[in-house]
């Protein structure tokens, strides 16, 4: 890979993982559909941006409610983010709120699983266990 593209590799890998997770989710959940591969690619890209920018703002704004529900309101935030992406991308449809809740949960978990197999070649990004000491 050319040195010029090296900084973009983690971004491209994350984008591909998100696209794959959305594609699998569209085959599992009847209420989640894509009209084209382009809609899938744009949805994965926009979902990544929304998770990086919009979702943290929503978490901060709804922190009291999130604490009151012991974090369960984060599922609602995930669903709202995926519904927002579906509203913005032509060719990406979600049938309802509950489909968005379960699909966002599925996409998140599948992305974590796939990412654990794909990523991690850079030792600086891996979690290191402490050496020595006492484990409680």
Domain layout of the chain by residue ranges: 9-116
pLDDT reported for residue 12:
86
pLDDT reported for residue 10:
84
Q: Which helix (H) or strand (E) holds 78?
A: helix 73-88
Q: Could you tell me the pLDDT band of residue 92, with boundaries at 50, 70 and 90? A: very high
CB 29 within 8 A of CB 107: no
CA distance 130 to 132: 6
Mean pLDDT of 31-35: 95
pLDDT surpassing 60 at residue 121: no
pLDDT surpassing 80 at residue 111: yes
More confident of the two residues 96 and 5: 96
More confident of the two residues 119 and 36: 36
Four-residue CA torsion sign, 91, 51, 19, 107 = negative
Average pLDDT, the chain: 87
* Three-state secondary structure call for residue 132: coil
């Amino acid at each position: 890979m050319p040195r010029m593209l090296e900084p973009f590799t983690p971004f491209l890998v994350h984008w591909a993982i998100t696209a794959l997770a959305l594609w699998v989710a569209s085959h599992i959940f009847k209420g989640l559909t894509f009209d084209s591969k382009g809609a899938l690619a744009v949805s994965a890209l926009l979902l990544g941006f929304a998770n990086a920018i919009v979702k943290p703002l929503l978490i901060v704004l709804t922190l009291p409610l999130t604490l009151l529900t012991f974090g369960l309101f984060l599922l609602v935030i995930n669903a709202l983010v995926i519904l927002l992406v579906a509203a913005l991308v032509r060719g990406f449809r979600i049938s309802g709120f509950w489909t968005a809740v379960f699909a966002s949960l599925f996409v998140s978990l599948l992305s974590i699983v796939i990412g654990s197999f794909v990523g991690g070649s850079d030792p600086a990004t891996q979690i290191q266990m402490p050496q020595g000491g006492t484990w409680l």
